[in-house]
Chains A and B, each alone.
Chain A
Amino acid sequence: MTLSIKKVQETAYLARIAMSEEELNRCHHEIEQIFTLIDQLQAVDTQGIPPLAHPQASQQRTVPDEVTESDQHEKFQALAPAKQLDYYLVPQVIE
């Protein structure tokens, strides 16, 4: 499959990863090679084969819908790059 550099650029934006032009060019070349490998899958006849999303076929267990965690927001927010009061700070979104 041919993957255009524009497509790689769009995908990088979708994944919210900034890339320099040089990085994008290198990445484009490498991803094209990797897709040559991945494209082997297209030749496999999988008609009637159920997809396997997870090695455990059994249903996941459920838990009662109860609050079990204690409030540790101070501990967790101590890791934030920027915060004010109990809020995470980001650049202004709404004018």
Chain B
Amino acid sequence: MSAIKANSYVDITDVLCPITFVKAKVAIEELEDGQILEIKMNGGEPLNNVPRSLKDEGHKVVQVEDHGNGTYTVFVKKGDL
């Protein structure tokens, strides 16, 4: 498992697209550049789209953990926009 220390955490397993990305985006906008957001999300559509959308906005996905139960934790480092 990772030794990544996140600065903030958001759970988006309880919402659907596009609120998944919106919640992640709100959480990451509150961080400073270079800080790390830990996002818990469901596999499938959220895992396919949310990390990609965050990358499109200039952030960096640093690690993805598969919990084996259909949920994942994605660590994203905030980029300077």
Q: Do A and B come from one complex?
A: no
Binding site for B on A (CB under 8 A): none
Spell out B's residues near A (CB within 8 Å).
none
